[in-house]
Chains A and B, each alone.
Chain A
Amino acid sequence: MSLQTNGTPDSIRSAVSDEVVIALNQVNKWYGEFHALKDIDLSVHKGERIVICGPSGSGKSTLIRCLNRLEEHQRGDIVVNGVTLDTNLKNIDAIRSDVGMVFQSFNLFPHLTVLENCTLAPIWVKSKSKREAEEYAMELLTRVKIPEQVDKYPGQLSGGQQQRVAIARALVTRPLLILADEPTGALDTRTSLELMVLFQDLNRQGMTVVVVTHESDIARFAARLLRFRDGHLVEDLQQAPVDAAKLLAAEALPA
């Protein structure tokens, strides 16, 4: 069964398979007394491209942070990539090395250069050689348009540049699933568009992409849209996504 809507142009139709990467069943999460996620049911197939939107404080970040267990949920089941998230630490380590995460606040490592930030996980978690890790990191950093900044420290970059490093850092391990929390928050319109092209490319190669955003501009590039309000999942809808690459090409012409 394909989840793709009929109106999707072929060029950006992602290879959605039957395999379920994320399955949530009646998930509830409390911060102390505060009920942050309420009875969330969700299933995401491998290769889907999803946008989560909703007002500030509605639980978007909380949800994706539960997916790699940076937060612990109290009731319900979360299964990621076939592994049930519970107190078993081994399971969690297995998940984390296959899930890339872009934080809302970037969380770059200030004591490492941009390149070192990006090669840390491939070298130490994926046991890649330094050369191999640096090659792929450079490729991604070039894709996000900051190859000339690689020897700087994060503190020496502008907000948008830091955000692009954070995105490259999440992608260097070639994760199966990427969770991006407001990845365009500090980017200008054009750079956001270029980032969407990158996400659509990666998605076409089989990566599952989950993006949190509240910009409707960004939301239209996804094939599926989830809307949150007050900790509820209130809307789950398929839509015909816009092809970011075409839009970029069209925009580039007049300039």
Chain B
Amino acid sequence: MTDAPTTSDGLLVFKPKPSLPPPPATTGVIGWMRFNLFDGIYSSVTTVIGVLLIGYIAMGFYEWAFVRAVWEASSRNECRLSPTEFGTCWAGVDFWFTRFIYGRYPDAEVWRIDLAALIFILWMAPLWLPRVTAKVVVGLSAVMVFPFLAGYLFLGGERNWFMEIMVALSLTWFLGTMLHVAVCLLLNQGLGRLTVRLSGFSSRDDRFHKYPVIVLALIAYFAVYFLIADWQMVEVVPNQWGGLFLTLVISGIGIASALPTGIVLALGRRSQMPVVRVLCVAFIELFRSVPLITILFMATTMFPLFLPKGLVFNNLASVIVAVCLFSAAYMAETVRGGLQAISKGQYEAAEAMGLSYWQSMGLIVMPQALKLMIPNIVGSFIGLFKDTTLVSIIGLYDLLGMINAISQDPQWIGLHHEPLFTAAVLYFIGCLAMSKYSQHLERKLGAGDRR
């Protein structure tokens, strides 16, 4: 009560207080541990038991993976007779490792897979660079346009007219994207804006700005088209594909196609038109009620029976189609769940503005629903990635198929644990990456509207 401001007649006077920064957090490491780990007798006992258990398991693993490890050997027997006895045979994994990754792809051509992977990484990397504009176009094209270039790199051989067009398009797009990224990083403006400025169109009306961009794109496309017209690579038939590479091809195509087809099916299921609705419901329910392995068997054995004689559909193509249909059906239900979470008021506000059905879906409903669905969508992507192991049952040599193959190699016969552990690590890395990316995306998209 000493220096509260008062007037001469003793009344309290209002004096505005300045805004202050929030107080700092007070607890340190010790405080955190006391509060979280040793907060009372039960908590302390649980902590001690937990730490002992973790230590025991870690010791066992350390012993198996490192103490008994044998890195240099030319057969499994050599590992067994090693000084530590029943040595853990990492030598076999090392010897077969390129096979785990590339399957039976010819050694001389493996660079094509590496190149495609590098292109994909370069294509996706700009999504993490804050200064790059038009990220949606870059990201979408990496999923929709890149597969044609990758497909040709993997397959090689002669291109038919369709692939001729698409490979040139894909390559042009990639080079354009890289140029766009470079321009963005150096000049802090998009390639489109720069083109407009250099062509002297910036003084014209906004409507004409697209013309110099279109002309530039066409010139670039035809230049690439004629430059690569004579370019051809050795054909590598899909039967030689395998390992992690094959796993990524199948699950990658499944993942990329699942979301768009899932959205279409989900919208169809909510449609006012009875025929569309019934077809979508039938498709979704059919594929959701049959196990994937059954669908895969049907795809490889029965599907060819329906095809006209002479049209040979290879196993891989049938499997990919089957995986796509299966994942689309699951994705449709995930999307439908997300759509139901959007309140009626949002639809009404969009309608009342005069937005058309597709506008309100694309601008209002889907962006909100997709954000809500990210955890579920990524969940089904992870599921799909792991489910592709089933293709090893129908005779494709995916990662798991190659793991089984090593144990039948006369030199390494019976070697199971180490390769399986390796596969587990590879799958874990893949799934963890997807999971982490989804969390990053959620945080980024959810930044504005938390309340």
Contacts and interface: CB of A to CB of B under 8 A. Distances in A.
Interface string A96-119: 110101010101111101000000
Contacts of B448: 111, 113, 152-153, 155-156
Interface string B163-188: 00000000000000000000000000
Contact of A96 (B353, B359, B363, B368): B353
Interface in B326-358: 343, 345-346, 348-356
B348 A107 contact: yes
A93 B449 contact: no
Nearest to B367: A111
B450 A96 contact: no
Contacts of B345: 103, 105, 107
Nearest to B352: A101
B364 interface: yes
Contact of A156 (B348, B350, B451): B451
Interface stretch (A1-9, A32-40, A121-129, A247-255): A121-129
A62 interface: no
Nearest to B207: A129
Contacts of B356: 93
Interface residues of A, number: 27
Interface residues of B, number: 23
A154 interface: yes
Nearest to A126: B354
B352 A70 contact: yes
Contacts of A111: 367-368, 371, 448-449
B365 to A, nearest CB: 10
Given A110-B449, A153-B448, A156-B451, A103 B354 contact: no
B201 to A, nearest CB: 16
B9 interface: no
Contacts of A105: 345
A97 B350 CA distance: 11
B370 to A, nearest CB: 10
A129 B449 CA distance: 27
A155 B353 contact: no
A163 interface: no
B3 interface: no
B349 A96 contact: no
B449 A156 contact: yes
A121 B355 contact: yes
Interface string A121-150: 100110001010000000000000000000
B346 A109 contact: yes
Given A96-B353, A107-B346, A124 B359 contact: yes
Given A156-B448, A156-B449, A70 B355 contact: no
B206 interface: yes
A102 to B, nearest CB: 10
Contact of A93 (B206, B354, B451): B354
Contacts of B451: 155-156
Contacts of A125: 353-355
B353 A153 contact: no
A99 B353 CA distance: 8
B206 A96 contact: no
B449 A155 contact: yes
A120 B450 contact: no
A50 B356 CA distance: 30
A121 B348 contact: no
A120 B355 CA distance: 9
A99 B349 CA distance: 12
Interface string B421-451: 0000000000000000000000000001111
Contact of B363 (A93, A124, A152): A124
Contacts of B364: 109
A68 interface: yes
Interface of B: 206, 343, 345-346, 348-356, 359, 363-364, 367-368, 371, 448-451
24 contacts: A96-B353, A99-B352, A101-B349, A101-B352, A103-B349, A103-B352, A107-B343, A107-B345, A108-B349, A109-B368, A110-B368, A111-B448, A120-B353, A120-B355, A121-B353, A121-B354, A121-B355, A124-B359, A153-B449, A154-B449, A155-B449, A156-B448, A156-B449, A173-B354
Instruction: Please list the 5 inter-chain residue pairs (A to B) with the smallest Cβ-Cβ separation, ordered nearest first.
Output: A97-B354, A153-B448, A107-B349, A155-B451, A96-B354
Given A93-B354, A99-B352, A110-B368, 20 more contacts: A68-B352, A70-B351, A101-B349, A107-B343, A109-B346, A109-B349, A109-B368, A111-B367, A111-B371, A120-B363, A121-B354, A125-B354, A153-B449, A155-B448, A155-B449, A155-B450, A156-B448, A156-B449, A156-B451, A173-B354
Interface of A: 68, 70, 93, 96-97, 99, 101, 103, 105, 107-111, 113, 120-121, 124-125, 129, 131, 152-156, 173
